[in-house]
Amino acid sequence: MHPMLNIAIRAARKAGDHVIKSLEKPQAIEVANKGTDVVTNVDHEAEAIIIDTILKSYPEHCIIAAESGTKENRDKECQWIIDPVDGTKNFVRGYPHFAISIALRMRGRTEVAVVYDPARNELFTATRGSGAQLNSQRIRVSQPRNLTGTTLATSLPFAAKQHAESYMKIQSALFVECEDMRQSGCAALDLCYLAAGRVDGVFKLGLKPWEVAAGELIAREAGAICTDFTGNTNHLTTGNIVAGNARVVKPMLAKIRENGSEALTK
């Protein structure tokens, strides 16, 4: 196992244990608004556990974290991208669909990814060039020949409401073609579910890097193509992602180009 993957798994499991145990005392969970989202004391505590675990082994690496921001360090080529609880709104309500997301980028490429669902004890992992695993078993994306019969994962763009009208047009166009849609409230798990063949495609907009980085590598290592809404690979920067096998991504992008606004598709 890649040594940095081993550290990421250790950090994710430690944080996951803390997050799950915190649900035993819901009265101790403190919730605050964070723009269009929410944040809790548990997010901050889990993030501190992850960062401490990583820096004990790699004290010179940089950190980009959802709650505490960027921590520059001596080794600028290694960046850990962390979301301690992706799906905090689900977590706060006791809806068991959230995950710890950790990715390592080296020299601008994502090399290691871990997404841990502590409620189901499902650990999704990937190392660049070595495939993707769920609880140490190899996973692959599904292989539909087109959008017919597919299940697509998406989410309403609460963090990018300026694109609401455009998003609704895109969703409506895809709705006519696919069989079903899912809106789970956890982008990291949506991408991992794509990797495991539980959904056939993903389209989302307005995401943050820490919501995408780990799940995107896991999906790609399971055979998915991941692009932004223009068909390029700037999804970590734009926050807009389309993912699936090639025969699913192509018609999804066509619908996005036909129905999306210029701001989304240029």
Known binding-site positions for Mg(2+): 83, 86
As annotated, the binding site includes 83, 86
Q: Which of 124, 48, 137 is nearest to 84 (CA)?
A: 48
What one-character DSSP code corresponds to residue 158?
G
* Among the listed residues 216, 214, 221, 237, the one whose alpha carbon sits nearest the alpha carbon of residue 11: 214
Residue 201 CA to residue 221 CA, distance in Å, equals 15
Largest CA distance in the chain: 51
CA 135 to chain CA centroid, Å, is 18
Question: Distance from first CA to last CA of the chain, Å, rounded?
Answer: 41
Residue 163 gets which letter from DSSP?
Answer: G
